[in-house]
Copies of this chain bind each other. A is one copy, B any other.
Amino acid sequence: MLVAGATGFAGALAAHLLWRHPGFELVGLTGRSETGRRLDDLYQRYRVPLEIQPLDLDGLERIDAAIVAYPHAAAAPTVGALLERGARVVDLSADFRLADLSTYERWYGPHPRPDLLEHAVYGLTELHREPIATARIVANPGCYPTAAVLGLAPLARAGLLADVVIDAKQGLSGAGRTFDDTTHLSMAAENITPYNVAHHRHTPEIEQQLGELDPAHPELAVQFQAHLVPLDQGELASCYVTPTRPVGEEELGELYRAAYADEPFVEAVEQPPGVREVRETNFCRLFAAADAHTGKVLVFSAIDNLWKGTSSQAIQNLNVMFGLPETEGLL
């Protein structure tokens, strides 16, 4: 098992989770910076005593799988090269999340390896478990789509989504290991800020997934808005749905309980969730309510953006890909 791009928050956590995983052996970490430095020096809280190395594809020993944690566009060529050397890949970037090439290119520019799109499966484990099991490329979802789609899937499947507003709030780890006025504690503390207003790359990803679940309404336009709030890890998606027909509390409760009764990591709870409840876990907590005053349906979905939103979901996918119990190394 290899982690390519282990210097960022996502890659480093993936390395930490693989290192302590009983079913996988982490053999290498690569990075485009910080080479020669041990991961447990760069991230003192992750006790992984491996050095970060430049990625040497030719010198690479045979590996079964890799997690690639590169920025979009940089990821695809590396994914391709790893594939050609026989590895299966969980890619944390956006490069293989959008099935439609033109949608990808509108948001991210030219795709470096469009030929590989057909090998990719969208890695929201709960929705695509079967194809993930045999996939060569798993496109790990973005953290916002993870929370939003898990929250809205039961409504989408029931054809209930007429209009959707998603107001998402996230801690600063969502900004990644980038150093600027946004992430400095003296700017970020005691602040709440919306960002990427009316223009967020995660919108098409959410729309693609919801459209698949509700083929009768494939053209749903989702209003998605992200905010930074002053904490480290944690994400809440508050979803406001105008339903296609009136929905009551009882129907709603049954819908959510039924949808996730057998899921080890999704909990339909009886009261509004706080993100602390799922911090440093692979859990997603959902709460749905009907508002008698407006007729709208409200859904709150809480995850840890770095765990279920990114790195621990990658491990969950690897468990599925290699036939291990899905919860292995994650409880």
Chain A residues with CB under 8 Å of chain B are 9, 20, 44-45, 163, 165, 167, 169, 171-173, 175, 177, 179-181, 183-195, 197-198, 203, 221-223, 225, 227, 229-236, 238, 240, 242, 272-280, 287, 289-296, 298, 300, 302, 331
Contacts and interface: CB of A to CB of B under 8 A. Distances in A.
Given A229-B230, A231-B230, A289-B197, A45 B298 contact: no
A184 B175 CA distance: 10
A244 to B, nearest CB: 15
State the oligomeric state as a number of copies: 4
Contacts of A232: 185-186, 189-190
Nearest to A44: B277
B190 A293 contact: no
A248 B177 CA distance: 36
A78 to B, nearest CB: 25
Given A231-B230, A292-B198, A188 B185 contact: yes
Which of A190, A223, A279: most chain B Cβ within 10 A?
A190
Given A45-B279, A193-B236, A229-B230, 7 more contacts: A163-B242, A167-B238, A173-B186, A179-B179, A187-B276, A189-B231, A198-B290
